[in-house]
A and B are shown apart, each in its own frame.
Chain A
Amino acid sequence: MTSDEIAHLISLVAIGDRKAFAVLYRETSPKLLSICLRILRDRTDAEEATQEVYVKIWQRAGVFAAGSGAPSSWLAAIARNQAIDIMRARKPIADELDSAYDLADDDPSPEIQTVIKDEGRRIDTCMEELEADRATAVKKAYVEGQSYQELADQFGVPLNTMRTWLRRSLLKLRECMER
């Protein structure tokens, strides 16, 4: 099913079309369940999370229909956010935004354009510019929903080092894609 066809289904769901909702579920649930399963690592939890995901898709379809963007990214983001929220609620990690939220400033930050513009490059090209272990950490964080601590343990580096790795990697990726 093409991106346009899925976008059309979502717009029908936005006006309460239950048949379109069933088709959308049939076409997209294997991917979204897989996302939940990868992050939650438990089949029952993942199925329950998937239920939540489709309840949200039903409720928020109008928001997608009114906006823009790829439908597959929108659907995947709902599934990832759901699974990550369940994970973080279950295994709490330290809150940081109340304390001073600063980047290590011993490395000059690349210039970030204020204007949101189209990317010149794909993420894959830019990932290749990162050091291999950092690129792996970025991808593991995203795909498996791992926390800084879990990543630090896996890579055998201190927590703060892992934080610095990922934050600098994000800035490098942004700089690369805007180049």
Chain B
Amino acid sequence: MTSPDQSKGGRSRDEVLAGEYVLGVLSFKDRRVVEERMRRDRQFAAIVSRWETNLSAFNDDYDVVSPGQETFKQIEARLFGEPEAVAVPSRGLWSSIVFWRCLALVSLLITAGALTIATVAVTPPQTPAPLVAELTAANSQVNLLASYERQSGRLRIVPVAIGKPQEKSLELWLVPATGTPRSLGVFPSDQTGELVIPVDMRGNIGEGASLAVSLEPFGGSPTGQATGPIVASGTTHRR
């Protein structure tokens, strides 16, 4: 399957291919080929989405089955971490790839003398909230959000999108040697700087994989392709 074929036969083929994808009869690899096509061909993506809508009437055939008590706790633990593990510094992606260029950015910012304390959280009496500063610089696409927990003396710095909250998001991309970048997820606004990589993408992130962060509309790219400027990129390697 190469470029979109505009002929009538091509249209029929696209309808069938999209329908086969939604039915689920394609192989694992062919499903990835179709998803790649969806990312770069909006019209084809619309054909897939129309089949999804059309065939969704079949969803009435599925009953309801209550999940086990533990399932949601495990989901929360995977997304937000265990409650007691919250204060432990991340050993995840962020720490393993030299924090990309953020450290360089920090020193740049310091030399520029452009640090401004943006917001300082009020401390309630019972559970002291962390002190928070948004580090900014002119002409920068990202800010650095520093949060300081006075009790533990721990300070965490995570990159955040510039602009008002709920205006922009940072999205992480896996950049293949050829083809378009594939989204690895949008950094959630809970400011942990952590992302859980989708299972089907994990196999693709090995040594030498190129990662990039782009600035996107809030919630991530609406098209599935990077639309905003790339604010940082780098290649993974072992420490």
Residues of chain A having any CB pair with chain B under 8 Å: 14-16, 18, 22, 25, 29-31, 33-35, 37-39, 46-47, 50-52, 54-56, 58-63, 65-67, 69-70, 72-73, 76-77, 80-81, 84-85, 88-89, 92-97, 101-103, 105, 109-112, 114, 116, 119, 122-124, 138-139, 141-143, 145-148, 151, 166-167, 170-171, 173-174, 177
Q: How far is the CA of A73 from the CA of B49 in the complex (A)?
A: 10
Docked complex Cα distance between A33 and B67 (Å): 7
**For the complex, would chain B's binding face be called helix, strand, loop or mixed by DSSP majority?**
helix
Contact with A along B34-56 (1 / 0, CB 8 A): 10000000010011011011111
User: Does B46 contact A116, Cβ atoms closer than 8 Å?
Assistant: yes
Task: State the CA gap A74–B92 with chains docked (Å).
Answer: 30
Contact of B31 among A62, A84, A103, A122 (CB under 8 A): A84
A67 cross-chain contacts in B, Cβ below 8 A: 222
A62 & B219 in contact (Cβ 8 Å cutoff): yes
Tell whether, in the assembled complex, residue B15 and residue A112 are in contact, meaning their CB atoms are under 8 Å apart: yes
Q: For residue A51, which residues in chain B have a CB less than 8 angstroms away from its CB?
A: 71, 74-75, 78
- Assess whether B62 is in contact with A93, with CB atoms less than 8 Å apart: no
Complex Cα gap A38–B62 (Å): 8
Q: Is B200 an interface residue (CB 8 A)?
A: yes
What is the CB-to-nearest-CB distance from A18 to chain B, in angstroms, rounded to a whole number?
7
Residue positions of B touching A, CB distance < 8 A: 1, 8-9, 11-13, 15-17, 19-20, 22-31, 33-34, 43, 46-47, 49-50, 52-59, 61-68, 71-72, 74-76, 78-80, 166, 169, 185-186, 188-190, 195-196, 198-200, 217-222, 224
When C-beta atoms are compared, the residue in chain B nearest to A96 turns out to be: B30
Q: Would you give the shortest CB distance from A85 to chain B, in whole angstroms?
A: 6
* Known A-B contacts A25-B75, A116-B47, A167-B20; A58 and B188 likewise in contact (beta carbons under 8 Å): yes
Docked-complex contact B217 and A66, CB < 8 angstroms: yes
Contact A95 B29 (CB under 8 A): yes
Q: A33-B66, A34-B63, A84-B31 are in contact. Are A73 and B52 (CB under 8 A)?
A: yes
**Chain B residue at minimum C-beta to C-beta distance from A119:** B54
Pick from B28, B218, B219: contact of A85, CB below 8 A.
B28
A116 and B8 contact, Cβ closer than 8 Å, known pairs A15-B166, A63-B219, A72-B59: no
Contact A31 B64, beta carbon cutoff 8 Å: yes
30 A-B residue pairs with CB within 8 Å? A15-B166, A15-B189, A15-B218, A16-B188, A18-B190, A29-B72, A30-B67, A34-B64, A39-B24, A51-B78, A55-B198, A59-B188, A59-B195, A62-B169, A66-B222, A69-B49, A69-B52, A76-B62, A77-B56, A80-B24, A81-B31, A84-B24, A85-B200, A103-B9, A109-B8, A114-B11, A122-B57, A123-B57, A123-B58, A170-B20
Chain A residues with CB under 8 A of B27: 88, 92-96
Given contacts A55-B75, A70-B53, A73-B53, contact A103 B219 (CB under 8 A): no
Q: Separation in Å of the B155 CB from the closest CB of chain A?
A: 22
Quick one: given A63-B222, A63-B224, A112-B15, are A55 and B31 in contact (CB under 8 Å)? Answer: no
Asked if A62 and B220 sit within 8 Å, CB to CB, the answer is yes
